[in-house]
Amino acid sequence: MPRLFVMRHAKSSWAVPGARDFDRELNDRGWFDLEKISKEIKTREYFPEEILCSPSERTRQTLQGIQEVLPESVKVSYPNQLYSSGLSEYLELIQDIEGDHPLMIIGHNPMCGALAAALPKPDSDYPVDEIAYKYPTATIAVIDFDCTSWADIEKGKGNLQNCVMPKSL
């Protein structure tokens, strides 16, 4: 049964005039939130076998901030589509993954929030409406699917098991 972890990058600095948005780095609160989220990942054993991470600096730093609690064998790739694509492109990336192993997306809003709200059934274990409105930085949604491969997942068919927000830890 596929399990998807949808993680929005941690809190970043505001853009500096003349600097590219792509190069924005995490701020102190972002790094602090990642310490809390890392403990939760380890405690709950939210371990992906594969990570699709946006290639931007703040998403790479988010991955760096949680990497110490992840298995060393985790496969990581940096598809460009996660930086500026829409919901359908995020979904296509996931559906192109072979197998049904645990998968993590580290990306940006509004797409992480849109993905986390679009995939679960309305009657999921965790209230979907709580994430449909706001998806804070460093949040991780945990969505399970009752199917045999990533190619079979569809909007509205997952079960939102949990949504971990740094503010609640």
The structural domains of the chain, with segments of one domain joined by +, span 3-13+22-168
User: Per-residue confidence at 131, pLDDT binned at 50, 70, 90?
Assistant: confident
pLDDT of residue 22: 92
Start-to-end CA distance of the chain, whole Å, equals 28
Q: Which residues contact 125 (CB under 8 A, 6 or more apart)?
A: 159, 160, 161, 162
Residue 159 predicted with pLDDT over 80: yes
User: Per-residue confidence at 19, pLDDT binned at 50, 70, 90?
Assistant: confident
Q: What would the CATH number be for the domain defined by 3-13+22-168?
A: 3.40.50.1240
What digits encode the pLDDT tens for the residues 66-106? 999 999 999 999 999 999 999 999 999 999 999 999 999 99
User: Per-residue confidence at 123, pLDDT binned at 50, 70, 90?
Assistant: confident
Q: What is the mean pLDDT of residues 2-17?
A: 92
**φ, ψ (nearest 5 deg) of residue 5:** -110, 115
| CA–CA gap between residue 164 and residue 27 (Å, rounded) | 20
Nearest by Cα to 6 from 71, 103, 98:
103
